Copies of this chain bind each other. A is one copy, B any other.
Amino acid sequence: MAHSSTTKQSNISLSNCGYSKVLDIISNKWTALVIYAMENGKIRYGEMLRRVEGISKKMFTQTVRKLERDGLVQRHIIPTVPLSVEYSLTTLGETLLQPMKELRQWGRENYTQVVEARVKYDSAYTPGSHEAGSIN
């Protein structure tokens, strides 16, 4: 797409980048974990709270509502007493699973290198460590 005169590459903006749109969907702290909790099928509210470690009721509800609004999650109310609610991925939601898994895979394979890079960076730039071989 030849865009304009002197520019060689098109600009990158938050508004035209497909990636940013995805991030808008899945970049919240708990969103990915909530999705993963549903990757094997339906799961109930209470079990979700137990499965996803550390999530609060508020954050779960907020997260899953957003996903529901985005069409990625289905909410299924079962009128028992007291009532039950089951959550599951929609067809659209399932299509997101694959790219997310690849990112997760990247994390599993490469996170060690990232941690090592951090240690190296920190030891190089921390005041007090003048490039001597000291690891904190």
A contacts, CB < 8 Å to B: 1, 3, 9, 11-15, 17-23, 25, 27, 29, 32-33, 36-37, 40-41, 50-54, 68-72, 92, 95-96, 98-100, 102-108, 110-111, 113-114, 116-118, 120-122
Chain A facing B: main interface SS: helix
Q: How far is the CB of A97 from chain B (nearest CB, A)?
A: 10
Cα of A52 to Cα of B103 in the assembled complex, Å? 23
A11 near B51: Cβ-Cβ < 8 Å: yes
The residues of B that contact A1 with a CB separation of less than 8 Å are 40-41
Q: How far is the CA of A113 from the CA of B93 in the complex (A)?
A: 11
Q: A107-B21, A110-B95 are in contact. Are A116 and B32 (CB under 8 A)?
A: no
Smallest Cβ-Cβ distance to A13: which chain B residue: B53
Residues of B within 8 A of A37 (CB): 12
Q: Within the complex, which residue of B19, B32, B118 is in contact with A20, where a contact is CB–CB below 8 Å?
A: B32
A69→B117 contact, CB < 8 A: yes
User: What residues of chain B lie closer than 8 Å to A18, measured between beta carbons?
Assistant: 104-108, 111
Query: Nearest CB to that of A101 among chain B residues?
Result: B19
CB atoms of A51 and B99 under 8 A apart: no
Partner of A70, one of B3, B17, B33, B114: B114
